[in-house]
Structure 1
């Protein structure tokens, strides 16, 4: 490669980079490359396996939740009238309903416990 071709190549590259420099997007690209490099350094085989397991569990939970909501939605649409208050309470006789309510209440209990632990950060000494 001779010197003229080399200079022309660099000038063409500089011309393509100019809009990125002017809009300060080149800094974002450099930051993204740096972040990617840091992630490559941090991700060892056990970490990759943990992330894979977490993503699999999250996908499973999302699938379960979506199916549950879809089934409940279809069942609710099939009802001619919305259930009365007593009808809603009658749902509590069903074992699956009680299991679902227990899940919701335990989830809320966990959120409340975490909020209680965080409360100390908001209370002035």
Structure 2
């Protein structure tokens, strides 16, 4: 039995809406839609100015990190492709003489250190 059949009076717009919603109602998926709407409503209630500011700062920091990593990967790829032959083992070790390389290695090692402490 359709829901539209049980309504007093026939409104064409309402009947069209109920016809489209009928599969959701029959399968129980309408409950999921209601749950998502309730979740969005709760989030709107929880978000105050300070929370929005914190989330914006977090998004800005994540964007900056991804931008820096992307730029570093593009630059390293371009430099590596510009070399005619792959560097030798000695050539790779000689990269450790450069301060920028040592800073990068130190960053990776410190990051691994922090991750190891958290495990």
Q: Same fold (TM over 0.5)?
A: yes
Change (3 A) 1:81 1:23: farther
**What's the CA shift for 1:28?**
2.1
Distance in structure 1 (CA, Å) of the matches to 2:64 and 2:103: 19
Aligned to 1:63: 67
- Find 1:53's aligned residue among 27, 52, 57: 57
Local SS of the residue matching 2:38:
helix
- TM-score of the superposition, structure 2-length normalised? 0.86
Q: Distance in 1 between matches of 2:66 and 2:10?
A: 55
Alignment of 1:1-125 (within 5 A): 4-6=9-11, 8-115=12-119
Q: Within 1, Cα distance between the matches of 2:34 and 2:23?
A: 15
Larger relative contact order (CA 8 Å, sep ≥ 6):
2
- In structure 2, C-alpha distance between the alignment counterparts of 1:30 and 1:64, rounded to whole Å: 40
Give the SS at the match of 1:4.
Answer: coil
In the TM superposition, residue 23 of structure 1 has moved relative to its aligned partner by 4.0
In structure 2, stretches of 5+ residues that fail to align are: 1-7
4+ residue runs over 4 A deviation = none
TM superposition score normalised by structure 1: 0.82
2:4 equivalent in structure 1? none
1:10 shift after superposition: 3.4
Cα distance, 1:24 vs. partner?
A: 3.6
